[in-house]
Structure 1
Amino acid sequence: METGAKMHMKEWLITQIESGKYEGLCWEDEAKTMFRIPWKHAAKKDYKQTADAALFKAWAVYKGKFREGRDKADPTMWKTRLRCALNKSTDFQEVPERNQLDITEPYKVYLIQHESGQAKPSDTHQTKDQVIIPAKRSPRSPGFVDKQFHYQKESFQGIKEEAKPMTEDLMREHMYCEITGDKPENQSSVPIAFLNPASTITDFRMQVVLLYHGQSVMKMTTRSPDGCFILQGCNPLGNERIYGPCTAQQLSFPSPASVSLPSCMAEAMNRLLCHLERGVLLWVAPDGVYIKRFCQGRVYWSGPMAQHSDRPNKLERDKTFKLLDTHTFLNELQSCLQGKGPTPSYEIELCFGEEYPDPNVPKTRKLIMAQVVPLFAEDLLQKFNLRETEEKTLSSNGDGEKM
């Protein structure tokens, strides 16, 4: 390589692993197909920026996003940049079942992909009660569950006993079609397959709706892996020369004048908007939905991981909060499909400047709110609900034909 030439991320990361400079960054296996990357949360009491953010900082420096002595240190943004780069790269695949995030020195494990983009057969982890079926990937359509699907052996047994005789290849085709929505040549009905809670989410889209006093004033579907800012204004991170270009989408609060409101309420809303200048940053990661509050104005929320359902949940300023956990959602979805639990919750609500949830005041009377829906969750539920409706229609017709 020529002097000064830029390395690709894969080559850069391998160089860092081999250097031994970063504590916790090491090979996971002797064959050097997987590696550990330290992943300590900045909120931990023993978090030390110098050591725990060293690798993330090095990546920011290498990409020209941070200049020592000139730019303000931002460990959270450094980590976000490397996380997004890993997620977008076709050279790496997270191995969630090997992650250790609840120990003193937490880490994630990534598999280095081969030239074909597929892992070696020996790299695929399989338990004795599961059959693993690789899933096709389409770069044009965002997939909500990536890399592989795990199905219980009981599903295969159910197909053999209840459906017409099939080859194993045909059964695999049916299983794949349950997730993708593609129609197999043989249209016989098969049981719904179970999702693997360790599967990786690759659909980072969110639907965000802004509401003023219960009225919808703006709706947007975000598409950036870096998420979106909801804010008053248009410069959430400060000087672009210092922080680098902001790749997160921006959703600005519209003027209260755009909604028919009493003058006293519009004045109160304008006063509140003055304190939401830097807003909040929302994003979807493979392991869940996150938020960070930058604005001075207080922000409250409700959602799947909220501590309280009958009293306010406050977002502390400059701290990252997890609003939805992917693993929990997929577990609950699997239980729902098996008839063992309710439909999993996935919708998130934000309330700006007023306490929420508030049992004494309905949300339709709150000045400014936002409804956030991670689309990977909604798409999964819609797909299975549609399938359930389809099967009920077939069953009610008796002859297997739709009216």
Structure 2
Amino acid sequence: MDEGAKLHLKDWLIVQVESGRYEGLCWEDEDKTMFRIPWKHAAKKDYNLREDAALFKAWAIYKGKYREGRDRADPTMWKTRLRCALNKSTDFQEVPDRNQLDITEPYKVYRIQQDSLSVRPEKCHMISEAKQSSGSPTAPDKQLHCQKEALQTNREEKPLTDDLMREHMYCELSEKKVQNQVPASMNLFSPTLQISDFRMQVMLLYHGQAVMKVITRSMEGCFILQGRVPLGNERIYGPCTAQQLSFPSPSSVALPSSMADAMNRLLCHLERGVLLWVAPDGVFIKRFCQGRVYWSGPNAQHTDRPNKLEREKTFKLLDIPTFLHGLHSCLQGKGPIPSYEIELCFGEEYPDPNVPKPRKLIMAQVVPLFALELFQKFNLVETEEKRQIHLQQSGREDV
């Protein structure tokens, strides 16, 4: 193992659970698919910093966020960092029905996702060393009827509290790192290539009509939302530097009054919107709004039925290594042109074979500019445009 090599959160946590070092950190089931994490609030009278914050402190030390004897102890921030890491990771899913937060020794339960249960073989020797370490582990009417049903369905979801939202936003915005610029001489398909252009082209459409087209500039990505981001306490969570794109008023588009009314009702559920950003390994999104959001794109599980964005969960919309590999294969004549366009549909299921895109109330088209520039560099833009026209003429609008 290379000196200083680090375990991923999943592997690190498995080591901690197995170690028995932390009181209350244990497996929830015999098959070891779920585990408990002690979750005592610091305001409790019997809160013991040394015991109740031990696991959170260990993660902060392991990630280099806390240096014993040099940094001020901040158990609240330690806990927030681990909670953020768990919520962002695709390896874990919280199991609220098993949580016990009102007892003397409260705890939360997390499930290790099925495809993540086994530790990667190349990590085994790293985990073994970590265990041995003695220190801390470092139709219009019909359509309107369907849209009304979609709006009604939106109301079924519980609102996200401002505190919880601020915490999630803090996690996403504070943990992203800006990468160094890639030298122009670097081989395009080098394994060490890191994308340095984090801009996106975002176009909003109301009933098929473009109402906004923006190129984002912030490296923290952008919010698409109704209104403004209700941060509330920037002293704790830091300033929000993600660009904010607010939905224009439906009056900006010539629509029947019934359609405009439906759109206004939908916008009421999009106050907190979604956060989009480009990172070195992909394009990501996190949904904060109460209204439901559906999407299509390179990483979408389904192409013929809806893909829903779950609230409080990070989704990867495009995987950059996969895109670059596909582009490489395409240029060698060994594969098709890789896709990089992403579509979001607010309040209505999408993709929907029964309702074409131009009849959806609110949609967003997102294009990461690094991908568009690569297409232009290799003269693939015109080829892709011709392919799209051919497919539409063949009656296949959704591609």
When normalised by structure 2's length, the TM-score is 0.56
> Out of 361, 367, 378, which is 2:372 matched to?
378
Helix, strand or coil for the counterpart of 2:327? helix
1:201 is the counterpart of 2:171? no
Alpha-carbon spacing, 1:375–1:76, altered in 2? closer, same or farther (3 Å): farther
C-alpha displacement of 1:240: 2.6
Alignment match, 1:115 = none
> Out of 76, 80, 97, which is 1:73 matched to?
80
Alignment match, 1:55 = 60
Helix, strand or coil for the counterpart of 1:371? strand
Q: Distance in 1 between the 2:240 and 2:86 partners?
A: 15
> Out of 270, 275, 280, which is 1:286 matched to?
280
When normalised by structure 1's length, the TM-score is 0.55
C-alpha displacement of 1:200: 1.2
CA contact (8 A) 2:87 2:313 kept: no
CA contact (8 A) 1:229 1:282 kept: yes
Alignment match, 2:229 = 235
CA contact (8 A) 1:56 1:79 kept: no
CA contact (8 A) 1:232 1:253 kept: yes
C-alpha displacement of 1:55: 2.9
Q: Distance in 1 between the 2:382 and 2:268 partners?
A: 48
Q: Which has the higher helix share?
A: 2
Counting only pairs closer than 5 Å after superposition, residues 94-105 of structure 1 correspond to structure 2 as: none
Q: Distance in 2 between the 1:255 and 1:60 partners?
A: 43
Alignment match, 2:291 = 297
Alpha-carbon spacing, 1:293–1:260, altered in 2? closer, same or farther (3 Å): same
C-alpha displacement of 1:73: 3.4
Uncovered stretches (5+) of structure 2, i.e. residues with no partner:
14-32, 40-52, 89-114, 124-177, 384-399
Q: Deviations over 1:236-278 (max 9, x none)?
A: 5443344221121111111111111111111111111111111
Q: Distance in 2 between the 1:273 and 1:71 partners?
A: 36
Counting only pairs closer than 5 Å after superposition, residues 129-278 of structure 1 correspond to structure 2 as: 146=182, 176=185, 195-278=189-272
Query: Which letter does structure 2 place at the counterpart of 1:146?
Result: V
CA contact (8 A) 1:276 1:297 kept: yes
Helix, strand or coil for the counterpart of 2:80? coil
Alignment match, 2:321 = 327
Helix, strand or coil for the counterpart of 1:55? helix
Q: Distance in 1 between the 2:75 and 2:180 partners?
A: 38
CA contact (8 A) 2:203 2:214 kept: yes
How many aligned residue pairs are there?
A: 263
Alpha-carbon spacing, 1:287–1:143, altered in 2? closer, same or farther (3 Å): closer
C-alpha displacement of 1:58: 7.4
Uncovered stretches (5+) of structure 1, i.e. residues with no partner:
1-27, 82-100, 110-141, 149-175, 180-192, 390-403
1:36 is the counterpart of 2:6? yes
Query: Which letter does structure 1 place at the counterpart of 2:284?
Result: Y
CA contact (8 A) 2:296 2:351 kept: yes
Q: Deviations over 1:337-356 (max 9, x none)?
A: 00011111000000000000
**What RMSD over aligned residues (CA atoms) do the two structures have, in Å?**
4.2
